[in-house]
Amino acid sequence: MRSSTIVRVLAAGAATAAVTATAGLATATPAYAATSKVSVVHGIPATPVDVYVNGKVTLKNFQPGDVAGPLDLAEGKYDIDLTKPGEAIDKAILSVDGAAVPGGANISIVAHLDAAGTPKITPFVNDVSKVGAGKARLVVRHTAAAPAVDVRAGGTPVFKNLTNPDEAKADLGAGTVSADVVLAGTTTVAIPATDLNLAEGTATIVYATGSAEGKTLGVVAQVITGLHSAPGGVPSGDGGLADDSGVSTWWLVAGAAALLLALGGGIRLATRRTGR
Amino acid sequence: MSLHHHGVPREIRGARRSHLSRRAVLAACGAALLAGCGAGEADSTSPEVEALSSPTPSPDVPPTQVPVQRAGLPTAQAVIRPVRLRIPAMSLDAKVDAVGIDARTGDFAVPPSVDRVGWYRHGPGLEARAGSIVIAGHVDSAAQGRGAFFTLRTLAKGDRLTLTDGAGRGYGFQVVGVEQFRKTRIPLERYFARDGAPRITLITCGGPFDESTRHYRDNIVVTATA
């Protein structure tokens, strides 16, 4: 009985020690080794893949139109390889050696087609600065095998002459906008109108993907939350009826001071009188 | 009868508190009579309320389990908006409007009608499992007189409030803190946070009133939890 208690206590002690050690390890990670949030976006039509990072399979059977992550990756260079699902890394269909991940950034690594229709990988750094209260950020990235395009919101071009692999962005009032994509400078619709719900305090990143020639143009969206700001203030009264202390207390104090002065004067007067 | 009985000590408590704060102000003013009055009063904050706003740590995801999502276009989240606010201790039963930001000023768009209060529709609604559900209302207005939140500052820890949704379902909360800040110092990010413990934040104006600018110096913040 006693020994079992001792064992339990020892075990508990060991567990505590282990936890402490782990915590120690965690805190021992140098603060300057900034990690980045990394998402992986699949924008190559009809090509599911396995994703290898530094030779290690990280995503299996990753489907077109999916977004993976975000992963916390330390600053550094990374080798990225895409294979057909289940195939060995030496049969990679797409490889990038030494892709640089800067510290403390938010990055999207996008597998997509270039303007000519060849698969490639493009890293984008995401703007995760705060948006103003009531606002949402819209980012559009041209990652499709298609010529230059205009992006229209409610029929009006908002981003003009966007080419692969560039992006355009704006902070807009939160809410729903109807957006479509047309060939630059024309009204020829490349991607038909869709309702985009831009939630307040988020960045919605829309990737145009696929191929115009292959008739596989479409969109993939990635949403980054937590970019909201507080309102500038909460003005909620201009009547003065609830005025607390300020004026009334001031008058109380002033009154008391006046009274003291008057009393002092009175006493002085009295002293003078008795003196005589 | 019991209602009346309950009401009496509340009144006394409120009265005593305001008397105390007045005495404190008087003392401060007395000490700083030459330096001038009105600059001394410190913000009153609550460590308990502050603790509610610390975000809960997210669980560590092992590197082999990378979250993957179908990246369709985002759709609007279902938000349960409050339509009515009842605070028995203030004899308040007010309609709640869904409001956002005044585009001209960037400020919280408090409903112009002072007998209504405004729920911040960009923040969480009654479905929230985290973050601050914010409702602001007028203390008063020059044109309309006393507002719905005229006596908000008299609330005390333990006072109850009920928010009702459009389906008539009530959500009960209890006051955990009453704070007062100068508007220039109020940590609004904390009160408009979308993480931390789920909580209700009621905001109005208070403190001394500046006749020349027609503004109150302070904000009164009441925090309540379920």
In this predicted model, what pLDDT tens digit does every residue of B126-170 receive, in sequence order? 999 999 999 999 999 999 999 999 999 999 999 999 999 999 999
- B72 occurs within a structural domain: no
Among the partner-chain residues B37, B204, B216, the one whose CB lies closest to the CB of A250 is B37
Q: Are residues B143 and B219 in the same domain?
A: yes
Q: What's the rounded Cα separation, in Å, for the pair A201 and A137?
A: 8
- Taking the CA of residue B66 and the nearest CA in chain A, the distance in Å comes to 6
Q: What is the pLDDT of residue A244?
A: 81
Q: Which residues of B153-192 are buried (b: 16+ CB within 10 A; e: fewer)?
A: bbbeeebebebbbeeeeebebebbbbbbbebeebbbebbb
- Which residues, listed in sequence order, are joined to residue B137 by a DSSP beta bridge? B117
B214/A199 Cβ within 8 A: no
Q: Is the pLDDT of residue A13 over 90?
A: no
DSSP helix/strand/coil, B142: coil
Indicate whether B18 and B92 sit together in one domain: no
**Does residue A262 lie within any of the structural domains?**
no
For an interface test with B, the pick among A61, A234, A241 (most B C-beta atoms closer than 10 Å) comes out as A234
- From A217, A216, A218, A152, select the one nearest A186 (Cα to Cα): A152
Position A18 in a domain: no
Which residues of chain A lie closer than 8 angstroms to B141, CB-CB? 237-239
Structure tokens at A265: 């004067």
B66:A196 CB<8 A: no
Mean per-residue pLDDT over chain B, rounded: 83
> Per-residue pLDDT tens for B23-69?
444 444 444 433 333 344 558 888 888 888 887 655 554 445 788 88
**What residues of B are in contact with residue A201 (Cβ under 8 Å)?**
122, 194
Q: How many domains does chain A have?
A: 2
Q: Are residues A40 and A107 in the same domain?
A: yes
The confidence score (pLDDT) of residue A157 equals 92
Q: Which of A42, A60, A64 is nearest to A52 (CA)?
A: A60
Does one domain contain both B103 and B138? yes
Residues B140 and B184 reside in one and the same domain: yes
pLDDT attached to residue A265: 56
- By the 8 A CB rule, do A139 and A208 touch? no
Long-range contacts, stretch B124-127, CB < 8 angstroms, 24+ apart: B124/B79, B124/B194, B124/B198, B125/B79, B125/B80, B125/B81, B125/B82, B126/B80, B126/B81, B126/B82, B126/B163, B126/B165, B126/B171, B127/B78, B127/B79, B127/B80
CB-CB under 8 Å, B211 with A250: no
In a domain, B140, yes or no: yes
Phi, psi of B70, rounded to the nearest 5 degrees? -65, 125
Claim to verify: residue B24 and residue B83 sit in the same structural domain: no
Residue A238: inside a domain = no
Nearest CA-CA distance, residue A60 and chain B, Å: 10
Alpha helices in A42-186 (DSSP H): none
Q: Which of B118, B48, B111, B37 is nearest to B85 (CA)?
A: B118
Q: Tell me if the bond preceding A165 is cis, omega within 30° of 0.
A: yes
| Res B61: pLDDT | 45
Asked if residue A260 belongs to a domain, the reply is no
Q: Which of A236, A243, A251 to mutate to test the interface with B (most CBs of B within 10 A)?
A: A236
Mean residue pLDDT of chain A comes to 83
Selected for mutation to probe chain B from A244, A248, A251 (highest B CB count within 10 Å) is A244
CA gap A217, B40 in Å, rounded: 65
The verdict on A107 and A140 lying in the same domain is no
Residues B130, B217, single domain; the answer is: yes
Average pLDDT over every residue of A210-229: 95
Q: What is the Cα–Cα distance from A180 to A191, expressed in whole angstroms?
A: 6
Which strand (E) or helix (H) includes residue A78?
strand A76-83
Q: Is residue B60 part of a domain?
A: no
Pairwise CA distance, residues A82 & A94, whole Å = 5
Contacts of A165 by beta carbon, 8 Å cutoff, 6+ apart: A110, A112, A114, A120, A122, A141, A142, A143
Mean pLDDT of B89-115: 97
**Does residue B224 surpass a pLDDT of 50?**
yes
Considering the domain architecture, whether residues B102 and B158 belong to the same structural domain is answered as: yes
Residue A134, number of CB atoms within 10 A of its CB: 24
Instruction: Work out the pLDDT band at A33, boundaries 50, 70, 90.
Output: low
Collect all residues of chain B within an 8 Å Cβ-Cβ radius of residue A204.
Answer: 74
From A126, A150, A165, the end of a domain falls on: A126
Residues B11 and B50 in one domain: no
pLDDT at B21: 47
> Do residues A176 and A108 both lie within one domain?
no
A98-120 tens-digit pLDDT: 988 999 999 999 999 999 999 99
Beta-carbon count within 10 A of B82 CB: 23
For residues A143 and A65, state if they share a domain.
no
- Would you call B212 an interface residue with chain A, using a CB distance cutoff of 8 Å? no
End-of-domain residue from the set A126, A143, A177: A126
* Token pair belonging to A229: 């700001």
Quick one: B137 and B28 in the same domain? no
Q: What span, in angstroms and rounded, lies between the C-alpha atoms of B65 and A72?
A: 12
Q: What is the pLDDT of residue B46?
A: 86
Beta strands A35-42 and A106-113 are parallel
What CATH number should be reported for the domain holding residue A214? 2.60.40
Is there a single domain that holds both residue B13 and residue B114?
no
- Answer yes or no: do B137 and A230 touch at CB < 8 A: no
Do residues A145 and A222 both lie within one domain?
Answer: yes
Q: Do A145 and A225 lie in a common domain?
A: yes
Residue B218: name the closest of B182, B187, B190 by CA. Answer: B182
Residue A106 and residue A185 in one domain: no
A204 touches chain B (CB under 8 A): yes
Residues in chain A: 276
In a domain, A78, yes or no: yes
pTM score of the predicted model: 0.77
* Residue A34 confidence (pLDDT): 86
Does B72 sit within 8 Å of A221, measured CB to CB?
yes
Question: Which chain A residues touch B211 with a CB distance below 8 Å?
Answer: 240, 247
Q: A82: which residues sit within 8 A by CB, 6+ positions away?
A: A49, A50, A51, A52, A92, A93, A94, A95, A111, A121
CA angle A92, A97, A98 (to 5 degrees): 150
Q: How confident is the model at residue A66 (pLDDT cuts 50, 70, 90)?
A: very high
The answer on B135 and B100 residing in a single domain is yes
- Residue A270: count other Cβ atoms within 10 Å of its Cβ: 10
Window B:11-70, CB contacts with A under 8 Å: 18, 21-22, 25-26, 29-30, 33, 37-38, 41, 63-64, 66-70
ipTM of the complex: 0.77
pLDDT value of position A263: 59
Q: How many CA atoms lie within 13 A of B179 on its CB side?
A: 25
Give the residue with greater pLDDT, A143 vs B27. Answer: A143
Residue A115 and residue A180 in one domain: no
**Is A249 part of any domain?**
no
Q: State how far Cα B178 lies from the chain centre.
A: 8
Statement to judge: residues B157 and B124 lie in one domain: yes
Q: How many CB atoms lie within 10 A of CB A245?
A: 22
Residue A217 lies in a domain: yes
Q: Which CATH number fits the domain that encloses residue B142?
A: 2.40.260.10
- Domain holding B201, by residue range, is 43-54+79-225
Please, which residues 144-173 of chain B have a Cβ atom closer than 8 Å to chain A?
A: 144-147, 149-150, 153
Token pair recorded at residue B171? 């959500």
Same domain, A141 and A209: yes
- Total domain count for chain B? 2
Residues A211, A170, single domain; the answer is yes
- How much of chain A, in percent, has pLDDT values that exceed 90? 72
> Out of A20-24, A69-73, A123-127, A258-262, which region has the weakest mean confidence (pLDDT)?
A20-24
Facing residues of B40 across strands? none
In a domain, B59, yes or no: no
The verdict on A102 and A136 lying in the same domain is: no
User: Does residue A171 carry a pLDDT above 70?
Assistant: yes
Q: Give the pLDDT score at B31.
A: 43
Q: Percent of chain B beyond pLDDT 90?
A: 65
**Contact (CB, 8 A) for B87 and B163:** no
* Domain enclosing residue A212, as ranges: 129-229
To the nearest whole Å, the CA of B75 is away from the closest chain A CA by 6
Asked, for residue B70, whether it belongs to a domain, the answer is no
Tens-digit pLDDT profile for residues A204-213: 999 999 999 9
In a domain, A269, yes or no: no
Q: Is the pLDDT of residue A257 over 70?
A: no
Contacts of A72 (CB under 8 A, 6+ apart): A35, A36, A37, A38
